[in-house]
Amino acid sequence: MSKNIGQLHVTIRAATVRERPCGNGGWRGTAPVAPLRSRLRFIVLILALAWGGACRVACAANELGPGGEVINGAGAEDAADESNKYLGSVYKDEVAGIVIAPPAGSRVVARAGRELMSFVNEAKQWVGSVQSLTLKDKMDVKQYMQQSVDALNKEFRGVQIDDRKEIQFQTFEAGRLTTKFSGGEGGKGQTGKITLYRQDLVVRTGDNQFMLLTMYTPLKDRAEAEKTFDAMIKSFVILDKKVVAEKRYAASLLGKKWLADRSAEELKTKLSSTPQVFRIQVGGMGGKPGSDVGFVRFDAMEKQQKEGPGVMLVVSTRTWPADGAVQGANIAFWRYKRDGKEDRPGYSTWENSTKYLKRGENLPGGKYTFWYTEFGILMEEGNTRLDEATLKELQKEREDLLQRRDIPADRIPPAIEPIQKMNHLIVSYAGDPTQGFNDPNKGTDVRIPEIRPAVLPKILEYTWTRVVDLSKPSEMLFVVYNSATRKLAMRTFSVVGPSVITLDGRSVSCVKCTDEMESASTTLWVDGSGKVLKMLTSDQSMLSSAAWDDVAKMWRTREEFGVWERGAGTGMGVEGGGGGRGGPSLGGLL
């Protein structure tokens, strides 16, 4: 992270943390830019363990691809010119109720509380956020903008208002506010204060509720920043939560139907015994590749476990920040459905492991290692009696739906019976005791009734595009275990439609799919068989299909690569760090 970017964030945080219109609003500033090492750990956790999380599905706004291309929507031709030059891929968070395309080359960070999301373009030193504010007192847009200016005047000298006007945004009262003021110190080769240019879109969503889109840039970038902010506003949508709820319910019904027809036997026929490898590149601009930092490798096989035969997928990830290495592995297993002529209850497992290695002159032996492993089991259980609290909760949900006149009769859940089939989910953890691993989260042991959305076997989080109908658009929602938050989450898979991408300098026809989990996102481009060709995450990390020999040649000089390739030790190359619950280690599998 450059000195200049760091100071810009300090400046912005000083402004945003202290701004409190009428003393009742207040919001958090954007967080400092994460160093590369932290970002690579995130890649290992999210990409290697759960595909990166999330999707951008078609919505009321124009959906933009990673290169800014307009996928759908009114005014597509006009928007295409702007988005191709100024905007990156669409960010969508249905829980927060927002859709927006941040500036091209930006890395998006999901937030919580008032700050719904933030973005940063490190190369240009641009930062911004979307925030949701609830004030104590009623306030109109004009009053809010004046209070915001007053707050800036208390923090900075020479605050100037470039523009302030009230506008209409969607169905809401709104305002545009642009200001400039002196901020933090300049970067290398610069002296004195840097002048910041701030643009705000203030949207009044209730008597005392506001949605705020803010972007800070150096004043010297004013012309481009204004055009970019205008394009962002055109992409920005505040979702109707009732419509979203109805859409998600329909997606959950489709997900149940789809999963009921799937089996490990079917998946086996769609997988290749040849490993599939992806280069991991970060720092790209507008969807273009950045610098190579590592790779992901997928190995599929048939495997006999003590619970029976099934399909196994091994996902291996290696990334190399400047000060060491981050190693990840995920072993996902799904048991065959048929045992002779009888159907067996669903059964699947996974094991996620991560190892950190850091070098430094002041570290003992020059190295520091830490490993962490997550074990998961998902199994169907026979009819089980619901406890009283769960039964009441489900009955209330059904009663609420019955009172809604806009819900068709075929969308109303059946009467909630005390006896239900259950999906039993068990997750436990282990870590390096020499590094003081003491996780307060003791694990998860829950039973999810069949009335809820279907619970997805972990292996399908990676391979769903192989067994979904790619010929028509669709959207399916499932319950999954989120390894990043260590909680249950909703995950949505969508088939968007035909697309064209560039691979190795040539145009390739493919199908675009999206994957959404909470506020992280991944766009996937697959061939007609569902084989992934390229992926792009919401933080602009690019994964491109590559030949194993080329990737091996690129990283073979790294010590950790050699240890992993030889299959020494357990799955993570750390004693006690893999193969838990009697599961396999990576040694001997690859």
Q: What is the pLDDT of residue 439?
A: 66
Q: What is the pLDDT of residue 478?
A: 95
Q: What is the pLDDT of residue 145?
A: 93
Tokens of 485: 């938050």
Burial of 125 (0-12, 13-18, 19+ CB in 10 A): buried
- As a whole-number percent, the residues of the chain with pLDDT over 90 amount to 34
Q: What is the pLDDT of residue 334?
A: 97
Q: What is the pLDDT of residue 405?
A: 63
Q: What is the pLDDT of residue 212?
A: 95
- Termini Cα distance of the chain: 36
Cα angle for residues 19, 25, 31 (degrees, 5° grid): 55
Instruction: Give 104's contacts (C-beta < 8 A, 6+ positions apart).
Output: 68, 85, 86, 87, 88, 121, 285, 286, 287
How many angstroms separate the CA atoms of 560 and 330, rounded?
17
Pairing type for strands 338-339 and 342-343 reads: antiparallel
The parts of the chain modelled with pLDDT lower than 50 are 1-82, 185-191, 364, 566-590
pLDDT in tens, 70-115: 333 333 333 444 455 788 878 888 778 888 889 988 888 766 568 8
How does DSSP assign 371-390, residue by residue?
EEEEEEEEEEEEEEEPPHHH
* HEC string for 388-419: HHHHHHHHHHHHHHHCCCCCCHHHCCCCCCCE
Q: What residue has token string 């000195």? A: 3
Strand ranges in 53-105 using DSSP code E only, listed in sequence order: 91-93, 98-100
Burial of 195 (0-12, 13-18, 19+ CB in 10 A): middle
Q: What is the pLDDT of residue 519?
A: 64
Q: What is the pLDDT of residue 589?
A: 28
Q: What is the pLDDT of residue 219?
A: 92
